[in-house]
Amino acid sequence: MSRPFLFGAFIFILILTLPARQFIAKTLNMAKLYFHYSTMNAGKSTVLLQAAHNYIENAMQVYLLTARFDNRAGDGRIASRIGIGKEADTFDVEDDLFTKIEARLNDGPCACIFVDEAQFLTEDHVWQLARAVDDLKVPIMCYGLRVDFRGKLFPGSAALLALSDEMREVRTICHCGKKATMVIRQDETGRALTEGEQVQIGGNEVYVSLCRRHWREATGS
């Protein structure tokens, strides 16, 4: 096999993997706190798992975290609605995430930290993540909801909006075709609820993503 052919094949493979390589190189060169936010059922976990896979495919280790009490996919597991998933460590209200991340880095190389269900972080948690980015020089990518069914910011999301270095929206659509930015919680009859605890674990049977106009119609706002 000729050297020109081998060189050409190498360049072709490099071009195919360039977007993932560029993204990884960018996060490695400059540690930042990222917040990927959306409404329900926008595919946040799918995006997280794909990003983590890009690192692993390039022989880099990652550290995954998710909320301990959200065990819809099983204890200590991040899963997507399209059927993919991966084991993860978990966090609770009392945990110090800086200490957790520092311990993981002491165990061996880790190129990036991924946090799912980031809306369940506390404000203290977010400050701990920011400190880990600044002091431990590791990029941290958080994925979560922006607002609850009442249109109010989650405390963790509010802190991430204030402290993140970069924010990106993961989009989905309302039934009318417009971008969905809000979510309703519905009862077993499909009626939109306007009262209740901010946190209630559920999926498509409980939550529906809507544009602002249809959210207002559903909630009478």
Residues tagged active-site: 117
> What is the bridge-based pairing of β-strands 207-210 and 112-115?
unpaired
What beta strand segments (E) does 32-120 contain? Answer: 33-38, 62-67, 77-79, 85-87, 89-91, 112-115
Nearest one of 205, 210, 152 to 183, comparing CA atoms: 210
Write out the two tokens for 192.
Answer: 């939109």
- CA–CA dist 143, 48 (Å, integer): 7
Q: Which residue reads 């996060």 in tokens? A: 27
